[in-house]
Amino acid sequence: AQRVTQPEKLLSVFKGAPVELKCNYSYSGSPELFWYVQYSRQRLQLLLRHISRESIKGFTADLNKGETSFHLKKPFAQEEDSAMYYCGINAGGTSYGKLTFGQGTILTVHP
Amino acid sequence: SAVISQKPSRDICQRGTSLTIQCQVDSQVTMMFWYRQQPGQSLTLIATANQGSEATYESGFVIDKFPISRPNLTFSTLTVSNMSPEDSSIYLCSVSRTGAGELFFGEGSRLTVL
């Protein structure tokens, strides 16, 4: 079965500093990886997915199959980036459409 | 996108009682899911709500405890039965239009069991 690990429950950085939210997964096949974000008093929403290889709000994430990682990075953090971030995996097959999430990381960006 | 409404948004319940959470989507969707978000813990998938048939439960979740209905392609309910304080959590309805991993979430139903 697939599994996602986010080792940091809390992450604090100062505005303008680089930030990296770690995500590791275990799955024997070819997974699809996602990052979801939940801002204060808002619903959970998709931030980005690995297959689109895009940058959203300055965030990027590269799938590293060798290290089974999908870390989320931003070179210069902003205060509005403060939120809860979840890494998720779609295993496909009979699990198609379902996402398994990690424990989540609360990012706080200080002024 | 999809607009998802959940009711109730929050509730405080007594131990041993049951609560039904409703999820309404603004248009037909193929896949609907129920997740649980416990304080300090991960988002955990409870089950897939299947239209016209029994829900598909994940390991650790059973129908007697979390009965789910899905009478049509826009509506589903999750019941939390015989509640205990351990059931205190946020319950989230989510839908997928494509199965490609993009989920839309409701605002959640925050349940507190005393």
Report pLDDT digits (tens) over A54-91: 888 999 998 888 899 999 999 999 999 999 999 999 87
How many Å apart are CA B86 and CA B88, to the nearest integer?
Answer: 5
Best of A41, A44, A105 to mutate (most B CBs within 10 Å, chain B): A44
Q: Identify the band that residue A95 occupies on the pLDDT scale cut at 50, 70 and 90.
A: low
Q: Among residues B7, B94, B20, which one has the least CA distance to residue A90?
A: B94
Percent of chain B with pLDDT over 70: 97
Closest chain B CA to residue A33: B101
Range 29-58 of B in CB contact (< 8 A) with A = 30-31, 33, 40-45, 48
* Residues B96, B100, B103: CA angle, nearest 5 degrees: 35
Report pLDDT digits (tens) over B1-55: 789 999 999 999 999 999 999 999 999 988 899 999 987 778 899 999 988 889 9
Closest chain A CA to residue B29: A97
Tokens matching residue A74: 């931003």
B-chain residues near A88 (CB < 8 A): 43, 101
pLDDT of res. A53? 76
Report pLDDT digits (tens) over B86-113: 999 999 999 987 766 688 999 999 999 9
How many Å apart are CA B77 and CA B8, to the nearest integer?
Answer: 11
Q: Report DSSP letters for chain B, one per residue.
A: ---EEEE-SEEEE-TT--EEEEEEESS--SEEEEEEE-TTS-EEEEEEEPTTS--EEPTT--TTTS-EEEEETTEEEEEE-S--GGG-EEEEEEEESSSSS--EE---EEEEE-
